[in-house]
Structure 1
Amino acid sequence: MGKIALLFPGQGSQYVGMGKPLYEHCVSSRTIFDQVDAVHQGTTTLCFEGPSEALNQTENTQPCIFAVELAALAALQCVGVEAQGIAGFSLGEVTGLVAAGVLSMDDGLKFVKKRGRAMEEAAQMTPATMVAVLKLENPKVEALCKEFNQCYPVNYNCPGQLVVALLKADQELFLTRVKELGGRGIPLTLSGGFHSPFMTYATKLLEKRIYELSFSEASIPLYSNAYAKPYPDAPVDIRSYILHQINHPVLWEQTMRNMIADGFTTFIECGPGKTLGGFLKKIDKSVTCHHVETLLTDYLEAKNAGKEWTFIC
């Protein structure tokens, strides 16, 4: 039998109403929301009611997604599913650090708040944006980036999808060039050029703050975005990995391929949306991906019917 891995999504997966089913049907999930609200007031209201303009501000988005992901993890633990590995996309990697026992929930939330503010500040310094490029091979997109000043391939999501960070002033010309090459460009509703040199200022802001955190040895492997391999155990290396991730590309496709090669056959997306499951289908159709809210629904239906529920992978 193959191994089970948890996947935590990142910024861009948020939507008004996210996490509400978890709050309504799982006491442990509700406790997570209450704990986050005590530190970052209004998180639950923003998740469930918005408005979307406020939810989409990076300094709010990150604590909100963090809360939903930990609530999803709590629900999963309630139904008795145990994982043997973790990967988180961008912000989701911080949730992964908590899920793997490397960071406490309090330290994780503390860092998420500081990370969100730092990235927001960096975004305000330079008017940058992000574009998802579809239907072009990675080398073509990488070559296209070199035609522009400050244009970087940043999120290697899956075959035929590579996200680019670039100056807002270059977006229209970039989209035109993508079309000329036979691809399709989709502007993303993000407030900055994440995982690129545009975020170097954010890493500098966080360099001192990261020493306020306490690290423990991971209970299960957490695969890094920037290196596509498990985090090391030494605190000095963990700090380096966390900071490096902020202004370097997310190697998601390679991470998934490495996890599959390491024996992971079942993946459970723990957080808002089903984007990561969509990527996984394009990376390798032989593996299975579930969503935690679907599993919780199945569990509750079986419980209400007086039947035994067992997760089969």
Structure 2
Amino acid sequence: MTAPKGLMRLLLQEDINFLLTNRLPRRFATRMVGRIAAVEHPLVARPALALWRFFGGVDLSDAATTRFRSLRDGFTRALRPGARVFDPDPATIASPCDAIVGAHGRIDGDRLYQVKGFPYRLGELIPDAAVADRFRDGSFVTLRLTAGMYHRFHAPHGLTVGGVTYLSGDCWNVNPIALKRVERLFCRNERAVIEARLADGTPLLLVPVAAILVASIRLTFLDTERSLRDVGSARVACDARLSKGDEMGWFEHGSTIVVFLPAGVALAPGLVEGQAIRAGKALASR
């Protein structure tokens, strides 16, 4: 066994992984890594990028460039034109991002799962009861973005965003190890609730959940100069019209998006927990 493989196997052991990523001072670590990620000086940026590529399983084959000024620049990289093609079928709701499929299925009244045996309720994740009620008995898909993935997310269908609510919170790791150990984790972490509707009025909800380390969410249709954390916790009303595949925003580290669909919208057949999915591929159909 080579040294790098042995180190990776050690870090992937459940107890050690949880200790390293969740028992350290999460907010302090997040602030520090955020500062390091923004540094463009080569003496900082080059080793940071090298560590990211080594540990993150980064695939840059479809990136617009492989030369980055900083670690943040690598996290938020753009892709070559045409690298992600969104399913053109108007009945299809596409995946908004590259991800690993997590827990998904029907919502039992207002109860759903982060992993098997760890339920949470819509009202614990979504602060507005009227918005949460639109998705009772509907469906959900959890999409986890790992550190090396493409971090931008896109409109899964032609839609209008009517409002965004930022919720301050913790920054637990959102990997499967943490999801099995921390109850209601998504309801504890920093997150945004993006309220949208399709042209026919069908509601759709995207909830990006930030995670440990950089933990910053930026939305293209609002203001990419400031993170949602800078905007504050009040609901921001808007009337942003987006076509399927239009960029909606990005994470500055790996994270999760939970997609909510109302009753009557069916998840795509064949979705399997643990499978990789790319932005633009079918997630559900109307």
TM-score by shorter chain over 0.5 = no
- The TM-score, its normalising length taken from structure 1, stands at 0.25
More helix by share: 1
- The TM-score, its normalising length taken from structure 2, stands at 0.26
More strand by share: 2
